[in-house]
């Protein structure tokens, strides 16, 4: 099912929840909507689901206006963040409810609920009420109730938020498997967690303050964030944003950071319109900073280790550079074990992984040969 959203606006009193959202989701695509809480994810999903009406804009499903399609023939299902199971009905009746409302004959209800329960490992809970199920079982029940009608469009609203860490990990894999098995079902998945969005979404739309700020594949978002918001939302640990100033020089433009001067040659074309002295933000991924090791891909600078956070396979280092600028870097354990707090080290930056943003609007400045996806 193809989903086309254009110019959706919605306000609740003085709050503008959505401010002109435009999106196109391909048939069968796993599309993730990533945004912090309050960005408007739930409002957007509820509008796509047809529960709420937008103040402005249209939702087209297979090129038909959603508001013209009766609820019964919409073929859309939604999994709510709170699961919204029917507390007075058993698991079986919860799963059967959409079929009963669609007047499916009893035998078929039995068969289809049985299938779904089997697939989601809920068979042993069929006689029980939702209140007695574990978190994971409740969540699978909510998914089962959405899937039992074989929807063409499945909307998932932060379905993993109410689960514990281990279950969340397992369920991520489950969703990908489910999507593969369902083949034709289009999935729109809203989450505030960049890890969920990047690991599951074929494409990710980033929502901020009721607007889509960037749509792209996970690697697009990671490597070419359209602005500093996307850059700081995507990636773990979050990107370092360091203030910099543009300098014109004889050999071309350069960027002054408090601890380092950076050759701005890769951005020369895009920087043409900016006068010298323009304030910029330099985005340095923690993964792009390395201790000096002989094969540097960029400039080298001294640093002092302020804090270490060993996470097992990797260690996150907080380093202080140029007086009081703090940076984060990530090192594999085998390189990190010999570094202690307060050590003086030398680091280098992989210039190819550096992103540049304007100070005022935060818009990305694209490199030569790369068109920023925005």
Partner 1 sequence: MANPSNRPIGKSGWGRTLGAAAVSIVYFFPVLYIILTAFKTRQDALAWPVKFIFTPTLENFVSVFYRTTVEGGAAEATGFGLYFFNSMFIGGTSVLLALIIGTAAAYGFSRFPLRGNETYLFMILTTRMMPPIIAIIPIFVLFRIFGLSGTYVGIIALYTAFNLPFSIWMVKSFFDDLDRDIEDAARMDGSSEFRLFRKICLPQVYAGLAATFVFAVILTWNEFVFALLLTGTQTRTVPVQIVRTIGGAIGVDWGLLSALETLFIIPVVLVTFALQNQLLRGVTFGTIRR
CB of 102: closest distance to partner 1 in angstroms?
A: 6
Q: Is 323 in the site for partner 1 (CB under 8 A)?
A: no
CB of 158: closest distance to partner 1 in angstroms?
A: 12
What φ, ψ does residue 188 adopt, rounded to 5°?
-115, 125
Q: Is 50 in the site for partner 1 (CB under 8 A)?
A: yes
Cβ-based nearer residue to partner 1, 76 or 91: 76
* Residues within window 84-143 making contact with partner 1, judged by CB under 8 A: 84-89, 97-98, 101-102, 131
Q: Is residue 346 helix, strand or coil?
A: strand
* Residues within window 20-49 making contact with partner 1, judged by CB under 8 A: 46, 49
Which of 71-79, 185-193, 276-284, 335-343 is the region at the interface with partner 1 (rule: CB under 8 A)?
71-79
CB of 200: closest distance to partner 1 in angstroms?
A: 22
Out of 82, 134, 333, 335, the only residue in the binding site for partner 1 (CB under 8 A) is 82
CB of 61: closest distance to partner 1 in angstroms?
A: 14
DSSP strands (E only) in the chain: 3-12, 15-25, 30-34, 56-61, 64-65, 76-79, 153-157, 186-191, 203-208, 211-216, 240-247, 254-257, 260-263, 279-284, 289-291, 300-310, 314-321, 325-332, 344-349, 354-358
Q: Give residue 314's region: left, alpha or beta (phi > 0; psi -120 to 50).
A: beta
What φ, ψ does residue 23 adopt, rounded to 5°?
-155, 150
Which of 8-16, 78-86, 204-212, 250-258 is the region at the interface with partner 1 (rule: CB under 8 A)?
78-86
Start-to-end C-alpha separation, the chain:
25
Number of residues forming the site for partner 1 (CB under 8 A): 25
Q: Is 145 in the site for partner 1 (CB under 8 A)?
A: yes
Cβ-based nearer residue to partner 1, 155 or 284: 155
Alpha helices in the chain (DSSP H): 41-49, 91-101, 106-119, 135-147, 165-182, 194-200, 218-223, 228-233, 268-271, 333-336
Cβ-based nearer residue to partner 1, 102 or 368: 102
Cβ-based nearer residue to partner 1, 130 or 216: 130
CB of 26: closest distance to partner 1 in angstroms?
A: 23
C-alpha–C-alpha distance, residues 250 and 257, integer Å: 19
Angle at 190 (CA atoms; ends 207, 210), nearest 5 degrees: 25
CB of 11: closest distance to partner 1 in angstroms?
A: 19
The candidate with the shortest Cα–Cα distance to 235, out of 282, 286, 311, 281, is 286
CB of 13: closest distance to partner 1 in angstroms?
A: 16
Q: Is 267 in the site for partner 1 (CB under 8 A)?
A: no
Q: Which residues bind partner 1 (CB under 8 A)?
A: 46, 49-51, 71-72, 76-78, 80-82, 84-89, 97-98, 101-102, 131, 145, 149
């Amino acid at each position: 099912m193809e989903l086309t959203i254009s110019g959706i606006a919605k306000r609740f009193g003085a709050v503008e929840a959505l401010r002109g959202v435009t999106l196109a989701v391909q048939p069968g695509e796993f599309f993730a909507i990533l945004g912090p809480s309050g960005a408007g994810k739930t409002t957007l999903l509820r509008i796509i689901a047809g529960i709420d009406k937008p103040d402005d804009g249209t939702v087209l499903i297979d090129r038909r206006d959603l508001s013209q399609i009766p609820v019964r023939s919409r073929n859309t299902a939604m999994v709510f963040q709170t699961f919204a199971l029917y507390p007075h009905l058993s698991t079986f009746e919860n799963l059967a409810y959409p079929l009963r409302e669609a007047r499916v004959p009893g035998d078929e209800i039995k068969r289809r609920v049985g299938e779904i329960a089997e697939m989601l490992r809920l068979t042993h809970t069929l006689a029980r009420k939702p209140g007695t199920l574990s978190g994971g079982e409740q969540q699978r029940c909510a998914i089962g109730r959405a899937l039992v009608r074989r929807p063409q469009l499945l909307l998932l609203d932060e379905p993993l938020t109410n689960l514990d860490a281990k279950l969340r990990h397992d369920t991520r894999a489950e969703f990908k498997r489910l999507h593969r098995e369902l083949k034709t079902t289009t999935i729109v998945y809203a989450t505030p967690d960049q890890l969920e969005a990047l690991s599951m979404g074929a494409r990710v739309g980033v929502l901020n303050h009721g607007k889509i700020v960037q749509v792209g594949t996970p690697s697009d978002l990671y490597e070419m964030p359209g602005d500093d918001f996307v850059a700081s939302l995507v990636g773990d640990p979050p990107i370092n944003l360091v203030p910099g100033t543009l300098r014109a020089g004889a050999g071309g433009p350069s960027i002054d950071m408090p601890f380092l001067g950076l050759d701005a040659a890769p951005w020369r074309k895009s920087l043409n319109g900016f006068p010298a002295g323009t304030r910029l933000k330099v985005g340095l991924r923690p993964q792009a900073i390395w201790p000096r090791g002989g094969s540097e891909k960029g400039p080298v600078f001294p640093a002092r280790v302020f804090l270490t956070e060993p996470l097992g396979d990797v260690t996150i280092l907080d380093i202080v550079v140029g007086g009081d600028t703090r940076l984060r870097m990530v090192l594999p354990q085998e390189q990190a074990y010999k570094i202690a707090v307060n050590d003086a080290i030398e680091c280098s930056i992989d210039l190819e992984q550096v992103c540049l943003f304007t100070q005022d609007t935060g818009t990305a400045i694209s490199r030569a040969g790369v068109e920023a996806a925005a």
